[in-house]
Amino acid sequence: MPKFAANLSTLFPDAPFLERFALARSAGFDAVEFQFPYAFEPEQIVQRLRRYGLELVLHNLPPGDWNAGERGITCDPRRSAEFRDSVGLAIDYALELGVKRLHCLAGKLPSNVPQERAHACYVENLRYAAAQCRPHGIDLLIEPINTRDIPGYFLTGSRQAAAVIEECGADNLFMQYDIYHMQRMEGELAGTLRQYLPLIRHIQLADVPGRHQPGTGEINFPYLYTLLDELGYDGWVGCEYHPQGETMASFGWLAQERKRAAALLLDKA
């Protein structure tokens, strides 16, 4: 059975952010992830991680102006200095919070910037960020995102991400594979996971089309969980979905998976 982490940016939306740690623990999670910690002092988050015995497995680099619709600035050659400052801030938080994986949002293709120039900037900035993360034992992750949800996003497929990783040549640069985004962009989830698992260090999930909990859409999640076990994936799977109904009630799929995994262990015994 994969290890599941609660994404506190999407789950428990009716609770203030700092109260969501307790809710994740009460739901049986041992780990959490979230998008951005920067609105809080690191110690505020550290206190809650310690209080509830939770591991923080992932957060993102600063995205630019999120409220204005920016979704990263890594591919924007006009903002490289700002990007480099954001890398330092993210690492400072990661060191305080004990995080070993940072996701670097690519951003949207900037207006009036040719694709080739944006690509060159993206690769250069990723090399810089990976080099800054390496001495601290931090992996840098890139995530392909679907263009229905974020039109114009620069990194859109697993093949593109793999090619970028190879071009960068950084030994701590890996892929963050989001099942929801990749089902919308390319399908072939099982084949893609088999092909690229050596490059994948974090997985996230939500069902398609609504981005709700597993079982509300078209994806055969029990098959994928079994596949991940068969492939030997030992990383975290982040539950980055928008609950359909109350968050606690949305964990029925997780209870079923735990029962299924327990039954399999009994059969093997």
CA distances from 11 to 105, 125, 240, 243, 250 (A): 21, 31, 7, 7, 10
Domains, the chain, in order of start with CATH, read: 3-267 (3.20.20.150)
Residue 260 — pLDDT band, cuts 50, 70, 90? confident
Rounded to whole angstroms, the Cα distance separating 246 from 26 reads: 14
Does 142 have pLDDT greater than 80?
Answer: yes
Q: Residues 9-68: pLDDT tens digits?
A: 999 999 999 999 999 999 999 999 999 999 999 999 999 999 999 999 999 999 999 999
pLDDT number for residue 245 = 96
Q: What is the pTM of this model?
A: 0.95
Average predicted confidence (pLDDT) for the chain: 96
Catalytically active residues, by annotation: 143, 240
Our CA angle for 140, 156, 244, nearest 5°, is 90
Q: Residues 203-237: pLDDT tens digits?
A: 999 999 999 999 999 999 999 999 999 999 999 99
pLDDT number for residue 163 = 98
pLDDT number for residue 3 = 96
Q: What is the mean pLDDT of residues 154-178?
A: 98
pLDDT number for residue 176 = 98
Residue 268 — pLDDT band, cuts 50, 70, 90? low
Rounded to whole angstroms, the Cα distance separating 11 from 175 reads: 23
Does 269 have pLDDT greater than 70?
Answer: no
Q: Residues 68-89: pLDDT tens digits?
A: 999 999 999 999 999 999 999 9
Residue 259 — pLDDT band, cuts 50, 70, 90? confident
Rounded to whole angstroms, the Cα distance separating 147 from 106 reads: 13
Locus of tokens 């009716």: 14
pLDDT number for residue 107 = 98
pLDDT number for residue 262 = 77
Q: What is the mean pLDDT of residues 235-257?
A: 96
DSSP labels, 124-152:
HHHHHHHHHHGGGTPEEEE----TTTSTT
pLDDT number for residue 261 = 76
Residue 248 CB neighbours (<10 A): 13
